[in-house]
Amino acid sequence: MTYAGYAGKFLTVDLSSGAIGSLPLGDELAEMYLGGRGFVAKLLYDMLPRGIDPLGPENVIVFANGPATGTLIPTASRIAVGVKSPLTGTISASYIGGHFGPELKFAGWDGIIITGASDHPVSLVIDDREARLEDAGHLWGKDTLESQRLLQEELGDDFRLGAIGPGGENGVLYATFMHVQHAAGRGGPGAVFGSKKLKAVAVRGSGGIAVSLPQAEYIASCKELHDIIMENPVRPAFRWAGTTGMLPVVNASVGLPYRNHQDDQAPDVGPIHNDEIAKYVKRYEACSGCNVICGSVVEFERKGRKYRSERIEHESVFALGPNCGIVDLPAIMEANYLCDLIGIDTMTAGGSISWAMEMTQRGLLTSADTDGLDFSFGNADVLREAVLKIGNREGFGGVLALGSRGAAKRLGKGAEYAMQVKGLELSAYAPRAFTGMGLSYATTARGADHNKAFTVAAEFLGVLGDYDRYDLEGKAHLVKTMQDSTAIIDSLIMCMFTVDLGISVDLYARCASLPTGMEITADEVYTIGERINTLERLFNIEEGFTRADDALPARFAKEAAPSDPGAHTLDVATVLDEYYTEREWDAAGKPRPELLARLGIA
Percent pLDDT > 90 in the chain is 94
Cα gap 242→278, rounded to integer Å: 10
Contact assessment for residue 234 and residue 53, using Cβ atoms and an 8 Å cutoff? no
Cα gap 391→344, rounded to integer Å: 7
Rama region for 261: left / alpha / beta (φ>0; ψ in -120 to 50; rest): left
What pLDDT sits at residue 243? 84
Q: Please state, rounded to an integer, the average pLDDT across all residues of the chain.
A: 96
Give the rounded distance of the alpha carbon of 474 from its chain centre.
Answer: 27
What pLDDT sits at residue 246? 86
* pLDDT tens per residue across span 306-363: 999 999 999 999 999 999 999 999 999 999 999 999 999 999 999 999 999 999 999 9
Cα gap 482→458, rounded to integer Å: 10
State mean pLDDT over 298-312: 95
Examine the pLDDT at 3 and tell me if it is beyond 80: yes
What pLDDT sits at residue 208? 94
CB atoms < 10 A from the CB of 231, how many? 10
Cα gap 450→452, rounded to integer Å: 6
Query: Residue 92 is inside which H or E element, if any?
Result: strand 91-96
Examine the pLDDT at 220 and tell me if it is beyond 80: yes
**Is residue 237 very low, low, confident or very high in pLDDT (cuts 50, 70, 90)?**
confident
CA distances from 504 to 272, 354, 452, 461, 501 (A): 32, 37, 16, 15, 9
What pLDDT sits at residue 102? 97
* pLDDT tens per residue across span 35-70: 999 999 999 999 999 999 999 999 999 999 999 999
State mean pLDDT over 399-417: 98
What pLDDT sits at residue 454? 92
What value, to the nearest 5°, has the Cα angle with vertex 420 and ends 414 and 423?
95
* pLDDT tens per residue across span 80-116: 999 999 999 999 999 999 999 999 999 999 999 999 9
CB atoms < 10 A from the CB of 468, how many? 12
State mean pLDDT over 443-465: 90
198-204 and 160-163 beta bridge pairing:
antiparallel
Cα gap 126→20, rounded to integer Å: 11
What pLDDT sits at residue 234? 87
Helix axes 329-342, 346-361, angle to 10 degrees: 120
Render 139-208 in DSSP notation, one character per residue. Answer: TTT--HHHHHHHHHHHH-TT-EEEE--HHHHTT-TTB-EEETTEEE-TT-HHHHHHHTTEEEEEEE----
CB atoms < 10 A from the CB of 122, how many? 23
State mean pLDDT over 235-263: 92
Helix (H, G, I), strand (E, B) or coil at 122: strand
Cα gap 243→355, rounded to integer Å: 25
Cα gap 596→601, rounded to integer Å: 5
**Is residue 462 very low, low, confident or very high in pLDDT (cuts 50, 70, 90)?**
confident
pTM for this prediction? 0.97
- Decide: residue 362, CB within 10 A, 0-12 exposed, 13-18 middle, 19+ buried: exposed
Q: What is the 3-state secondary structure (H, E, C) of 351-364?
A: HHHHHHHHHHHCCC
What pLDDT sits at residue 156? 96
What pLDDT sits at residue 501? 87
**Is residue 374 very low, low, confident or very high in pLDDT (cuts 50, 70, 90)?**
very high
435: amino acid identity, one letter: T
Helix axes 573-583, 435-443, angle to 10 degrees: 70
What pLDDT sits at residue 466? 82
State mean pLDDT over 111-139: 98
| Domains defined for the chain, CATH in brackets | 9-204 (3.60.9.10), 239-424 (1.10.569.10), 430-599 (1.10.599.10)
Q: Which residues pair with 209 in a beta bridge?
A: none
What pLDDT sits at residue 461? 86
Examine the pLDDT at 579 and tell me if it is beyond 80: yes
* pLDDT tens per residue across span 410-426: 999 999 999 999 999 99
198-204 and 182-184 beta bridge pairing:
unpaired
- The overall longest dimension of the chain from CA atoms, in Å, is 69
What pLDDT sits at residue 499? 86
Higher pLDDT, 242 or 13: 13
What pLDDT sits at residue 240? 83
Cα gap 192→424, rounded to integer Å: 16
